Structures are given as structure tokens and as C-alpha cells.
């Protein structure tokens, strides 16, 4: 019965999608608004990566919303993975069932850690010029912490600095937007000079916003990874 | 310019809470209430201006189809007022009601949920609507399971799975719409859909309605609701039942009316509404055990009624839908807030445990009676006026199908009367098993409940208080070309 | 009717279907969440495929005199960036809940979990 | 063009594998393979930003948290 219902629902969707997509031919130019972005994007924003221009200028509010979604996810993880504290069970919490990793893995991960962080920082700082940006950079940073967790059994992440980074970065985003509101009359308006093309200090507020996003996403994802590692599945 | 703060402030507040919590945990619990009160003030101060003409705010400094824009019209602003008002009351209530740690996370999640709801009713961009919808729904998933007991966790994951399928559908719908029109601004899409292929149009619309319908609890998509609303902490149930599903209904209405001009499917919407109504009321009637579950099923029924009224595609119909939405929000928020502390005092969600409680805590009992009578539709409470206007709007259509639907609504009302009278009977006229008085609710709960009850009576006696705003809001939703013009004309 | 290669659409819709079918028919919570991520990936692929235009380059200027009219649509890419991150948030929350459910029931089988019959 | 066809088919096969594998770790690895191929497809669709994000988030971090979650629960689907 259930399989039958699922199958018929799926069949309905497949037919519907196929019929609809036949009217949206692949590879055709059907840009309306996007033409404006392509033509004026660089002049308007100073960012040579037009995806960044869209993400952080024309549709910057989506991005604020999306970092908020991650923020909520990490909050939710914090709620769900913290069991009510019991008196005797507390010292058990640090116990890990994994065997200790070999010296090479441990030293190697410690050696790679700053390099990966640096790489992540590079990715989000150059988000307005090259592919990549805050989300990619942030997830690279989180993967550095993941590596530390995998390589070192005793590795623990302090959550307070993460929380502070997270909220400071979020506040930076909103405050930059509010300054734009005060200076230019629009929320998230660009109020800094756009600079010359292809230089790091160009595109006005975009590098600031992308750094804030990079740090925020990095902190949130690291928090998620840390929470997952430190959680216990049972009381 | 001030209208932008309606969105910016909640974000700022949500990001501020963790920092404040490091300094003083107690202080951080007050932030949602403060933010919502400020929002309420801003929204009310904008109301006279908005009644004349909607304010269209473009973000990032580019005009309407280029960048995301907000349309602060009578409908959006009216709902934003409702959201910040209920949000404020629930935040005040939550300060003393929530006992489980981590409290500051609870307050952050409440604030983000309200942010999502406010953003959804104000935004004029369909992808932005999706993003705010995700903010709203992720916060609700997390809050549903906040107690971390068996029921809550289960309800949360059930809600999450169904909600995520819904949001994937929304995203597919947006993809099709973008492929069709090349733009994401709702007014711009609305201006372009007329010439599009009907299959494509229908598919995109169905996907979007199914997606938002999960949140709005339209009939086949509402399996999550009774679990989620009954297992969540009561303050959360109040928001979920009073704000979250209403926002979903708003999104469905916005999609159908503004984006697609879907006059062909209005009757379908009404029929789905009636089915939802009947199923909700019958399940509530059969519910003999759990008071919160009973209230949750009653929410399903009321959402069906709202959908039915939205389906009457006239000014009067949409007006009635919005009126019903307001009166349901007030009554259901009151009921959940009141039952929260009652359950806490009695120590059980069982209906039988509530026997004689109305006489033991007379004030709370009276407030509950007000809300219940309003939901049933007894004059002089708000619910009477709203149900009456739904019936009037449906009969004014002079069509056999709508008249038939109204007959079914009356049947559903009879069922509703049945179970709510049973609830009142248990509360007031059943001998209690134990002797002695039960302590009345604390002030932080009594004040919100009293305000809500006072509003229910005030609106019922003097409906003009809100009907002007609702009439403007209704015509704003029905008159599609005016909406398009107000957004795109502002180029 | 379709001038180009509709293979991308086939891939995207196929992935959406596999994801949906996994969610609808599997009984294991982790498997259901895997289905959700497959569904997400499929939707993202569909969005980017809709924004693709034949014989055009990525919307990133490499030299000052590059021709913007020879680039693909940047908007769906921006949307997908958002959608990917949202998908990760949902997945993380779902997994945390699954761990929690396992803590309560010692199983992830939806048939054995009281309320999870749908 | 033939590469796109091969990649798409490979992706769908990996997706089906994620459906059929009883071993959840294997299913998650298949899911990561789907993400990885999708990221190549994103690159071919001229979306390098998305390709990076999908590779880092979809194939990398998602898989990691899946594996952690599976370690905390049960490995086999019964």
C-alpha cells in the first residue's frame, strides 16, 4: 500500500517535472534580471566575481538569512546534544572509544592545521575576485578543526570563543547593513569606495561582509562538528 | 527607512543574545521581549502611512526587480503587528515558564522564529520568502524538541522530515518559476506569468502550494502538526499554533493570489480547507486524553476554515479569512499559554486531571472560557464576528458549491461545540478528585492571558478596531495589479 | 524541441526521485536523512542547470575587457550557494535529532518508534 | 558531451547505491560520491563557486557529520 502510494506520487512528480522542463529548454538564454547583473554588476559593486556581487550586494539579505539558518542549526545542535547533567556520569563524558592515532597522524594534523586555516582565510578574503567566498572558506576552516578532532583523541574545542566569534560576526553583518541604511538610505547599501578592479581592497563592503561570513560559518560549522564529536548517544 | 528596522532589529537581537548571555544570563532572556516590543511600536507607528499607500523598500540600494525588496503593505504590516504582539506576550511568558537549560538558546530560537515570520510576511521576493521560511521552520524544529523528552524529539524529527520535503518542493517550484520568467521578484513574476505555458505554471504553483501547505497544515500534509504542537513546550505551541501555521497560510495565499492569479483553483483550495476542517474537528472530538493534542487538532480545523475563506476569491472572503486568522491566533495563543502552566501545576496533560480546575483557579478558568467560546463562535467574542463574516462571504458568492461548503462548516462547528463544551464541562462542572485550591498562574502568565482575553472581547464587541486594516489588507491581496504596480511602478 | 543536452535535467530529476523514494520508503532514520541530502543535491543541480547557457563562461571576470554578455546566469548559482548551506543546516539538525532518538529508543527503525508511523 | 552523460549516469548509480546499501557507512560514502560528481557537474555548468561549496560542504563536511552520527548510533540498517 505504502509502496504503491509512494510510487504513484513519484510518477506524478516525474511526469509533471518532465512536462514542465520541456518548456524550460536546457542551455537557452532566458535571463531578465540577470542581464542587468552581467552588464552593471562590476560597475555597481566593484566585485569581479559576479556571483559574489549577487550574493553580497543585490541579494545580500538572503545571505544574512542563510547564516542565520546555520546559526539556528548550531543552536539546535547545542540544545539536542546536551543531555541533562548527571552527577556521577560527568567524568565519563570525556571518554572516547577510538584508539589513539599514530604519532605521524597527530603531528601531521597539527602541522596541517594552520595551513588549512590560512587557506580558508585566503578563500574568503578573495571571494570578490575569484571563485569561492565566505561559505567555502568557512567550511575549509571547519574542516581544519575536523582534522584536529580526527587526529587527536584528546582534542577539545572551547565553545566560548566560537560563540563570541559567531555573534560578533553576525553583529558585524547587521551593523554594516545598518550603516548602509544610515549613509545611503538602504539596508546593506555599499558605503565604501569600490576601489580599482582586481585589487584585494576593492568592492566596498563586500570583503568585510565575506570575512564576517567566513568567520561566522567557520565558527558555526566547527561548533557543529565539535558538538557532534562530544555528544553522547545515551545517558 | 524605519520599516527596514522591522527586519534588522530581530537579526541584531538574535546575534546579540549569546554575547549578552556571557555577561549576564538573566539579562539575555529579556532581549526577545524588548525587540518584539520595539517592533510592535515601529509597526504601529507605520500603520497610518501604510493605509494610504504601501511602502516599498529596496535593499542594497537597487530598485525593485534588481534587488530584494520589502513590500510593507496593509497585509504585511498587519500580520507583522500580530506577530510582534503575540511574540512579545510569549517572550514575556517564556521568561519564567522555561525551566530547562540552555535557556538562552531557547530565547534565541524564539527570536529567530519570530524573525523568520516577520520576514516572510514583509518580503516581496520569492527566494527571500524561502530563506525566511527556512529560518522559521528550522527554529520550529529545534523548539519542538526543546524539552528533549521522547515525545518532543520524535515530533521534532517527524516535523523536520516532512518540512524538509516541503521546502525542497518550494525550491523546485522557484527553480521552475525562475526558468519561466527569469526573475525572482514576486511582482515581476506576477507581471510575467500571464503568457507562460499552463502546464509549467500549474506544476510550479502546485509545488509551491504543497511546500508551504506543509507549514500551513493543509489536509494531506498535516500529519506532523498534532505531535509537534502537543509535544513542544506550551509557550512554543502558542507560537507554532498562533504564528507559524498562519504564516504558512499567508504564504499560500500570497502565492495563489499575487504570484499566479490562480482563480481556477480557488474552489479546490476551499474544498481542501473544508476537508482539513472536518478532519481536524473530528480528530479533536475523538481526543479524550490529552488537552494539548485536542487544542492542536482544533488548530488543524481552524486552519481549514481559514483556507476555505481564502478560497472565496472576493474581498469579503479574504477579509473573513484574515479576521478568522486574527481571532484564532488570539484565542489559541491564550489557550496554549494558559494550559502550559495548568499542566505544570497539575503535573499531567490528561483531560481527566483537569477536572474541576475552573473552580479551583477561577480567573484562569474564566479566561479559558473566553477563548473557547470565541473559537466556537459565540457572540460577543471575536470568533463570532469572524465566523459570521466567513458565512456571509461564502453565501454572497451565490454559488451552490460554496453554499454546500458552508453547510459542512456548520456541521464542523457542531462537532467543535461538542468537544469544547466537554472541555468546559470538565473544567467547571466535574467534581475534582482532590480537594483544595490550586495556586493561580504567576503574573508573567496572567498578564499575557488577560491581555489576550481582553482583546478577544474588545474585537468581538467593537470589530471596527481592526476591520479597517483588514479590509485594506484584503483588497491589497485581491487586487493583484495594484500590488504589481506599487512594486514595479516605484522604479 | 530541446536544442541542447538534456542529460543534466535527467540527472537532476533522477536524483530528486531517488531522494524522495528513499525518504518515502526507507525505515531507518539515517537512511531517510541520506535521502534528504540526495533530494537537496538534485534540486541544486536542477537550479544550476536552469541557469546554464550554451557556450558561455563562468560569471567571473578574469580580465578587465572580458565580455559580460558571454557569461552564464549568476543568479541560480547565488541561490544554490544559499541552498547548499541551508541543506547542511537541516542535515546537521536532523542528525542531532536522530542521535537523540537513538538515545531514547536504542533504535532508528521508524516502525519501532511509537509516534513515527506515517 | 559524452563526459556529461557518463558522469550523470555514474551519479545516478551512486544515488541508487546509497539507496540499496544496508551498511550505512557505505550508503553515506555513496552519497558523498553523488555530491562529488555533482560538484564536477557544477563545474562543467560553469559554476565554480557552487562546485567549491558542494565539494567542501556536500562531499566533505556533510559526510563527516554523517559518519560521526552513525558511530553514535547503529551502523547497519535492519
CATH number at residue C50: 1.10.287.3510
Residue A87: band (very low, low, confident or very high) from pLDDT cuts 50, 70, 90? very low
Kindly state whether residue A53 falls inside one of the protein's structural domains: no
- What pLDDT does residue B335 have? 92
Residue of B nearest to A164 (CA): B19
Confidence of residue B113 (pLDDT cuts 50, 70, 90): very high
Nearest chain B residue to C20, by CA: B165
Count A/C contacts: CB-CB distance under 8 Å: 165
Nearest to C43 among B154, B158, B168 (CB): B168
Q: What average pLDDT does the segment A49-66 reach?
A: 86
Q: For chain A, what is the domain count?
A: 1
Nearest to C65 by CA among A198, A206, A53: A198
Those residues whose C-beta lies under 8 Å from the C-beta of residue A233, and which sit 6 or more positions away, are C99, C102, C103, D72, D73
pLDDT at A49: 81
Is chain A touching chain B, with at least 3 CB–CB pairs below 8 Å?
yes
In terms of Cα–Cα distance, which of B248, B247, B234, B246 is closest to B106? B234
> Is B175–C115 a contact, with Cβ atoms under 8 angstroms apart?
no
What pLDDT does residue C116 have? 55
Is D77 part of a structural domain of the chain? Answer: no
D69 in A contact zone (CB under 8 Å):
yes
C82 touches chain B (CB under 8 A): yes
* pLDDT at A97 (0 to 100): 57
pLDDT in tens, A107-142: 888 889 999 999 988 888 887 787 878 888 999 999
Residues C7, D8 contacting (CB under 8 angstroms): yes
The answer on pLDDT for D17 being more than 50 is: yes
D48 touches chain A (CB under 8 A): yes
Closest CA to B374 of B333, B436, B331: B331
Partner C contacted by B203 (CB < 8 A):
no
Q: Cβ of B103 under 8 Å from any chain A Cβ?
A: no
Backbone angles phi, psi at B122, to 5 degrees: -100, -25
Chains touching chain C at 3 or more Cβ pairs under 8 angstroms?
A, B, D
Spans in chain C with pLDDT lower than 50: 1-3, 118
pLDDT, one tens digit per residue, over D46-77 is 888 899 889 989 888 999 999 989 988 877 87
Grid cell, residue A77, equals 545542535
Neighbours of chain D (3+ CB pairs under 8 A): A, C
Burial B140-166 (b: 16+ CB within 10 A, else e): bbbbbbbbbebbbbbbbbbbbbbbbbb
Contact flag C85-A135 (C-beta cutoff 8 Å): yes
pLDDT in tens, B54-104: 888 888 777 778 888 888 889 999 999 999 999 999 999 988 888 777 888
Mark whether C and A touch (3+ CB pairs within 8 Å).
yes
Q: How many CB atoms lie within 10 A of CB A114?
A: 10
A222/chain C closest Cα distance in angstroms: 12
**pLDDT score at D38:** 92
Name the pLDDT band for B437 (thresholds 50, 70, 90): low
Give the up-direction half-sphere exposure of residue B377: CA atoms within 13 A in the CB hemisphere.
20
**D60: contact with C, CB 8 A cutoff:** no
Burial call B78-116: b when 16+ CB within 10 Å, e when fewer: bbbbbbbbbbbbbbbbbbebbeeebbbbbbbbbbbbbbb
Interface chains of chain A (3 or more CB pairs under 8 Å) = B, C, D
Maximum distance among all alpha carbons in chain D? Answer: 43
Cβ neighbours of B112 in C, within 8 Å? none
What percent of chain D has a predicted confidence (pLDDT) above 70? 99
Tell me the β-bridge partners of C57.
C71
- Asked which of B396-405, B430-439, B453-462, C25-34 is least confident by mean pLDDT, the reply is B430-439
Distance of CA B103 to the CA centre of its chain: 24
**Residue D14 within any structural domain of the chain:** yes
**C37 to chain D: nearest residue by CA?**
D31
Give the pLDDT score at C64. Answer: 63
For residue C3, what pLDDT is reported? 45
A94: confidence class by pLDDT, cuts 50, 70, 90: very low
Determine whether the interchain pair A233/D72 forms a contact, defined as Cβ–Cβ distance below 8 Å: yes
Q: Is chain D in touch with chain B: ≥3 Cβ pairs within 8 A? A: no
Average pLDDT, chain B: 88
**B118, B10 Cβ separation under 8 angstroms:** yes
Mean pLDDT of all residues belonging to chain A: 81
Residues in chain B closer than 8 A to C52 (CB atoms): none
Burial of B336 (0-12, 13-18, 19+ CB in 10 A): buried
| Chain C residue with minimum CA distance to A233 | C103
Q: Give the model's confidence band at A232: pLDDT under 50 very low, under 70 low, under 90 confident, else very high.
A: low
Triad A103, A104, A109: Cα angle to 5°: 105
pLDDT computed for residue B434 by the predictor: 67
Spatial distance between the Cα atoms of B59 and A63, rounded to a whole number of angstroms? 13
The residue-averaged pLDDT of B178-205 equals 86
Structural domain total, chain D: 1
Helix (H, G, I), strand (E, B) or coil at B277: helix
Contact A128, A207 (CB under 8 A): yes
DSSP three-state, residue C109: strand
Residue A229 to residues A147, A166, C103, C108: CA-CA distances in angstroms?
12, 19, 15, 19
Q: Domain ranges for chain B, please list them.
A: 2-488
**Cβ contact B174–C79 (<8 Å):** yes
Does residue D78 lie in a domain region? Answer: no
Alpha carbon separation from B235 to A74, B143, B367, D27 (Å, rounded):
22, 10, 17, 39
Plot region of A234 (φ>0 → left; ψ -120 to 50 → alpha; else → beta): beta
Pairwise CB contact (< 8 Å): C47 & B171: yes
Alpha helices in B182-244, H assignment, sequence order: 186-192, 198-216, 224-231, 234-239
DSSP type of residue B348: -
CA torsion sign, B459 to B463 to B464 to B469? positive
Q: Which residues does chain D have within 8 Å of residue C104's beta carbon, measured at their own beta carbons?
A: none
Q: Which three cell numbers stand for residue D42?
A: 557544477
Q: Report residue A159's pLDDT band, with 50, 70 and 90 as the boundaries.
A: confident
pLDDT digits (tens, 9 = 90+) for B269-311: 899 999 999 999 998 888 888 888 889 999 999 999 999 999 8
The pLDDT value given to residue D24: 92
Q: What is the pLDDT of residue C19?
A: 92
| Measured torsion, CA atoms of residues D55, D60, D61, D66, in degrees rounded to the nearest 10 | 130
Q: Tell me what pLDDT residue B133 has.
A: 94
Instruction: Determine contact: D65 vs chain A, CB below 8 A.
Output: yes
pLDDT of residue D62: 92
HSE of A44, CA atoms in CB hemisphere, 13 A: 21
Residue in C16, C29, C81, C86 to test binding to A, most A beta-carbons within 10 Å: C81
Q: Scanning the structure block, which residue is given the C-alpha cell 555577561?
A: B23
- CB of C110 within 8 Å of any CB in chain D? no
User: Where in the sequence is the domain holding D10, given as residue range(s)?
Assistant: 2-72
Q: In whole angstroms, what is the distance from residue D34 CA to residue D37 CA?
A: 5
Contact across the interface for C16 and B171, Cβ inside 8 Å: no
What cell was used for D35?
555530491
Label residue A90 by pLDDT band (50, 70, 90): very low
CA–CA separation, B318 and B324 (whole Å): 10
Residue contact B102–A83, C-beta within 8 A: no
pLDDT one-digit tens code per residue, B212-252: 999 988 888 888 888 888 888 889 999 999 899 999 999 99
70-109 in A: which are within 8 Å (CB) of D?
none
Separation between Cα atoms, residue C35 and residue C26, nearest integer Å: 9
Find how far residue A40's CA is from the centre of its chain: 27
Contact C23 B161 (CB under 8 A): yes
Cα distance from N-terminal residue to C-terminal residue, chain D? 41
Question: What are the beta bridge partners of residue C28?
Answer: C109
pLDDT at A85: 54
C-alpha distance from A139 to closest chain D C-alpha (Å): 6
Chain A interface includes B59 (CB < 8 A): yes
Q: Domain containing A187: what range?
A: 59-81+103-230
CA distance D13 to chain A (A): 18
Q: List the single residue in B with minimal CA-CA distance to A84.
A: B101
CB-CB: which of A22, A53, A81 is closest to C1? A22
Mean pLDDT of B42-49: 91
The answer to whether residue D32 is domain-embedded is yes
Which residue in chain B has the smallest CA separation from A13?
Answer: B203
For residue D60, give the nearest of A51, A135, A139 by CB distance.
A139
> Which residue of B154, B172, B179 is in closest CB contact with C43?
B172
Which residues is B350 bridged to in the sheet?
B290
Amino acid at each position: 500500500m505504502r509502496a504503491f502510494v509512494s510510487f504513484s506520487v513519484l510518477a506524478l512528480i516525474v511526469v509533471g517535472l518532465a512536462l514542465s522542463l520541456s518548456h524550460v529548454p536546457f542551455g537557452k538564454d532566458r535571463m531578465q534580471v540577470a542581464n542587468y547583473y552581467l552588464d552593471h554588476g562590476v560597475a555597481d559593486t566593484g566585485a569581479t566575481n559576479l556571483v559574489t556581487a549577487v550574493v553580497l550586494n543585490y541579494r545580500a539579505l538572503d545571505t544574512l538569512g542563510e547564516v542565520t539558518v546555520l546559526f539556528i542549526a548550531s543552536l539546535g545542535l547545542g540544545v539536542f546534544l546536551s543531555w541533562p547533567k548527571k552527577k556521577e556520569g560527568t567524568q565519563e563524558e570525556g571518554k572516547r572509544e577510538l584508539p589513539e592515532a599514530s604519532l605521524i597522524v597527530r603531528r601531521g594534523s597539527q602541522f596541517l592545521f594552520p595551513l588549512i586555516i590560512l587557506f580558508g582565510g585566503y578563500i574568503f578574503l578573495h571571494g570578490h575576485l575569484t571563485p569561492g567566498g565566505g561559505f567555502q572558506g568557512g567550511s575549509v576552516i571547519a574542516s581544519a578543526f575536523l582534522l584536529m578532532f580526527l587526529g587527536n583523541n584528546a582534542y577539545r574545542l572551547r565553545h566560548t570563543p566560537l560563540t563570541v566569534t559567531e555573534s560578533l560576526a553576525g553583529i558585524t553583518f547587521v551593523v554594516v547593513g545598518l550603516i548602509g541604511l544610515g549613509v545611503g538610505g538602504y539596508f546593506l547599501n555599499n558605503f565604501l569606495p569600490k576601489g580599482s578592479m582586481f585589487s584585494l581592497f576593492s568592492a566596498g563592503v563586500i570583503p568585510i561582509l565575506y570575512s564576517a561570513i567566513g568567520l561566522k560559518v567557520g565558527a558555526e560549522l566547527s561548533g557543529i562538528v565539535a558538538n557532534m564529536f562530544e555528544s553522547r548517544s545515551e545517558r | 527607512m524605519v520599516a527596514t528596522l522591522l527586519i534588522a532589529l530581530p537579526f541584531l537581537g538574535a546575534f546579540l543574545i549569546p554575547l549578552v548571555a556571557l555577561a549576564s544570563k538573566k539579562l539575555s532572556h529579556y532581549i526577545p521581549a524588548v525587540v518584539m516590543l520595539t517592533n510592535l511600536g515601529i509597526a504601529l507607528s507605520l500603520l497610518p502611512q501604510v493605509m494610504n499607500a504601501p511602502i516599498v523598500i529596496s535593499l542594497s540600494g537597487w530598485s525593485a526587480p534588481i534587488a530584494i525588496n520589502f513590500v510593507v503593505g496593509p497585509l504585511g504590516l498587519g500580520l507583522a503587528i500580530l506577530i510582534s504582539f503575540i511574540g512579545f506576550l510569549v517572550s514575556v511568558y517564556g521568561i519564567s515558564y522555561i525551566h530547562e537549560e540552555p535557556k538562552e538558546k531557547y530565547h534565541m530560537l524564539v527570536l529567530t522564529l519570530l524573525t523568520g515570520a516577520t520576514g516572510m510576511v514583509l518580503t516581496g521576493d520569492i527566494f527571500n520568502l524561502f530563506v525566511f521560511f527556512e529560518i522559521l521552520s528550522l527554529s520550529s524544529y529545534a523548539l519542538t524538541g526543546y524539552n528533549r523528552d521522547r515525545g518532543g524529539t520524535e515530533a521534532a524529527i517527524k516535523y523536520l522530515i516532512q518540512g524538509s520535503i516541503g521546502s525542497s518542493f518550494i525550491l523546485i517550484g522557484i527553480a521552475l518559476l525562475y526558468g519561466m520568467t527569469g526573475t525572482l521578484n514576486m511582482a515581476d513574476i506576477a507581471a510575467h506569468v500571464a503568457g507562460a505555458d499552463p502546464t509549467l505554471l500549474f506544476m510550479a504553483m502546485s509545488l509551491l502550494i504543497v511546500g508551504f501547505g506543509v507549514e500551513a497544515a493543509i489536509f494531506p500534509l498535516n500529519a506532523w502538526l498534532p505531535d509537534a504542537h502537543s509535544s513542544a513546550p506550551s509557550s512554543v505551541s502558542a507560537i507554532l499554533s498562533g504564528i507559524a501555521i498562519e504564516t504558512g497560510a499567508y504564504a499560500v495565499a500570497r502565492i495563489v493570489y499575487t504570484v499566479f492569479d490562480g482563480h481556477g483553483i480557488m474552489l479546490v483550495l476551499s474544498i481542501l480547507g473544508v476537508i482539513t476542517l472536518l478532519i481536524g474537528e473530528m480528530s479533536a472530538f475523538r481526543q479524550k486524553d490529552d488537552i494539548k493534542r485536542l487544542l492542536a487538532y482544533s488548530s488543524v480545523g481552524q486552519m481549514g476554515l481559514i483556507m476555505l475563506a481564502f478560497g472565496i476569491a472576493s474581498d469579503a472572503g479574504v477579509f473573513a479569512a484574515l479576521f478568522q486568522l486574527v481571532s484564532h491566533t488570539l484565542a489559541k495563543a491564550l489557550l496554549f499559554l494558559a494550559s502550559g502552566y495548568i499542566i505544570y501545576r497539575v503535573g499531567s496533560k490528561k483531560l481527566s486531571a483537569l477536572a474541576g480546575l475552573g473552580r479551583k483557579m477561577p480567573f484562569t478558568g474564566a479566561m479559558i472560557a473566553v477563548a473557547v467560546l470565541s473559537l466556537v463562535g459565540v457572540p460577543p467574542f471575536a470568533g463570532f464576528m469572524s465566523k459570521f463574516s466567513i458565512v456571509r462571504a461564502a453565501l454572497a458568492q451565490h454559488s451552490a458549491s460554496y453554499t454546500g461548503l458552508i453547510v459542512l462548516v456548520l456541521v464542523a462547528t457542531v462537532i467543535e461545540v461538542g468537544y469544547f463544551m466537554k472541555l468546559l464541562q470538565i473544567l467547571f462542572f466535574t467534581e475534582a478528585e482532590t480537594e483544595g485550591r490550586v495556586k493561580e498562574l504567576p503574573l508573567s502568565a496572567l498578564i499575557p492571558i488577560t491581555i489576550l482575553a481582553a482583546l478577544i472581547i474588545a474585537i468581538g464587541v467593537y470589530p471596527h478596531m481592526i476591520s479597517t486594516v483588514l479590509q485594506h489588507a484584503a483588497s491589497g491581496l485581491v487586487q493583484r495589479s495594484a500590488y504589481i504596480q506599487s512594486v514595479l511602478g516605484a522604479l | 524541441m530541446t536544442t541542447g543536452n538534456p542529460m543534466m535535467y535527467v540527472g537532476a530529476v533522477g536524483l530528486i526521485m531517488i531522494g524522495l523514494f528513499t525518504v518515502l520508503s526507507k525505515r531507518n532514520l539515517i537512511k531517510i536523512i541520506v535521502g534528504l541530502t540526495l533530494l537537496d543535491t538534485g534540486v541544486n543541480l536542477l537550479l544550476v542547470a536552469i541557469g546554464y547557457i550554451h557556450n558561455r563562461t563562468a560569471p567571473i571576470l578574469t580580465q578587465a575587457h572580458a565580455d559580460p554578455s558571454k557569461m552564464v546566469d549568476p543568479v541560480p548559482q547565488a541561490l544554490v550557494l544559499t541552498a547548499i548551506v541551508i541543506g547542511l543546516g537541516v542535515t546537521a539538525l536532523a542528525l542531532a535529532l536522530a542521535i537523540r532518538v537513538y538515545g531514547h529508543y536504542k533504535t532508528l527503525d521508524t516502525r519501532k518508534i511509537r509516534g513515527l508511523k506515517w | 558531451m559524452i563526459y556529461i552523460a557518463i558522469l550523470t549516469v555514474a551519479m545516478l548509480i551512486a544515488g541508487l547505491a546509497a539507496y540499496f546499501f544496508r551498511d550505512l557507512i557505505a550508503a553515506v560514502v555513496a552519497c558523498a560520491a553523488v555530491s562529488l560528481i555533482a560538484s564536477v557537474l557544477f563545474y562543467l555548468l560553469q559554476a565554480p563557486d557552487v562546485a567549491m561549496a558542494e565539494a567542501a560542504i556536500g562531499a566533505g563536511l556533510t559526510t563527516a557529520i554523517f559518519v560521526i552520527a552513525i558511530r553514535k548510533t547503529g551502523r547497519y540498517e535492519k
